[in-house]
């Protein structure tokens, strides 16, 4: 986390001068950000960007060749300490956007942009979610079983000695990992994976 007098160094990679100039103006209206370079594309400048040691790189994803869009980390290998922010005003495959810490939309106002830039720094510093990001943890499996049995958040919290807030966080993670939102869908998941017996749910 930055102290109050530090400003974040930003590199903008955007081919349209109208847009990059406008974005720069919006960002520099805030004293906690400083744009150290505006570039039209990223290929010839990787060295240079590296040297500038930015905290945040704002990239128009369409400047990255399609086959490299999903492997951004290779492109910016030396810059693991920079948050990557996509600037979007054309259609970009959702998969490609997952590579970024956050996404700025062309219609966002100055406050929203500043807020998103700060979020991207937080996302960069957030601890990784463990090695198996998509595997349910043992705890999550237990919660899922309770959900599948039709228990409500409060009951689950009491049973597992955790807060309702924690139950909700587990639920969100379960939904994200399994791709299943409804309780009955989770029940099907639990039975197909032999986490519970069908007789326990009827």
Partner 1 sequence: MNKLGSELNISNICGKNNTMNSHLFSADMKLADVIHADYSLLLLLHRFGLNLGFGDKTVREVCEANHVSCPLFLMICNVYSNEAYLPMDKEIERIGTDVDQLIAYLKNSHDYYLNSRMFVIEEQLKEISGNCEEHHKKILHLFFNEYKNEVIKHFAYEEDTVFPYISGIMHGDRSGNYEIEEFKENHSNIDDKLNDLKNIIMKYLQGDALSEMRIRVLFGIFSLEEDLSKHSLIEDKILIPLVKKLEQQYGKQ
- Kindly state the smallest distance separating residue 70's Cβ from partner 1, in Å: 18
Instruction: Report which DSSP code applies to 137.
Output: P
Stretch binding partner 1 (CB under 8 A), from 27-35, 47-55, 61-69, 105-113 = 105-113
Residues in contact with partner 1, counted by CB under 8 A, come to a total of 23
HSE-CB of 177 using CA atoms within 13 angstroms: 19
Stretch binding partner 1 (CB under 8 A), from 111-119, 150-158, 161-169, 182-190 = 182-190
- Cα 88 to Cα 60: distance, rounded to the nearest angstrom: 6
- Cα 25 to Cα 19: distance, rounded to the nearest angstrom: 10
CA geometry: angle at 44 spanning 69 and 118, to 5°? Answer: 55
* Inter-CA distances, 106 with 82, 113, 185, Å: 22, 10, 37
| 110 near partner 1 (CB under 8 A) | no
| 5 near partner 1 (CB under 8 A) | no
Q: Beta strand 56-59 with 102-105: parallel, antiparallel or unpaired?
A: unpaired
- Kindly state the smallest distance separating residue 45's Cβ from partner 1, in Å: 27
Specify the residue, 45 or 185, whose C-beta has the smaller distance to partner 1.
Answer: 185
| 179 near partner 1 (CB under 8 A) | yes
Specify the residue, 5 or 90, whose C-beta has the smaller distance to partner 1.
Answer: 90
Can you give the binding site for partner 1, defined by CB under 8 A? 88-91, 103, 105-107, 178-182, 184-185, 187-189, 191-193, 197-198
């Amino acid at each position: 986390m930055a102290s109050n007098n530090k400003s974040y160094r930003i590199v903008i990679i955007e081919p349209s001068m109208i847009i990059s100039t406008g974005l720069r103006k919006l960002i520099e209206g805030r004293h906690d950000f400083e744009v150290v370079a505006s570039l039209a594309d990223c290929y010839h400048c990787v060295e240079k960007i590296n040297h500038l040691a930015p905290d945040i790189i704002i990239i128009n994803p369409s400047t990255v060749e399609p086959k490299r869009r999903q492997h951004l980390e290779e492109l910016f290998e030396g810059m693991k300490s920079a948050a990557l922010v996509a600037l979007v005003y054309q259609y970009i495959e959702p998969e490609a956007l997952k590579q970024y810490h956050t996404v700025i939309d062309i219609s966002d106002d100055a406050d929203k942009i500043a807020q998103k830039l700060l979020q991207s720094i937080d996302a960069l510093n957030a601890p990784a979610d463990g090695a198996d990001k998509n595997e349910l943890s043992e705890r999550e499996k237990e919660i899922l079983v309770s959900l599948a049995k039709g228990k409500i958040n409060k009951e689950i919290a009491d049973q597992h000695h955790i807060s309702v807030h924690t139950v909700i966080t587990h639920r969100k993670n379960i939904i994200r990992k399994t791709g299943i939102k409804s309780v009955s869908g989770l029940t099907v998941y639990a039975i197909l994976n032999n986490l519970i017996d069908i007789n326990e749910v009827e």
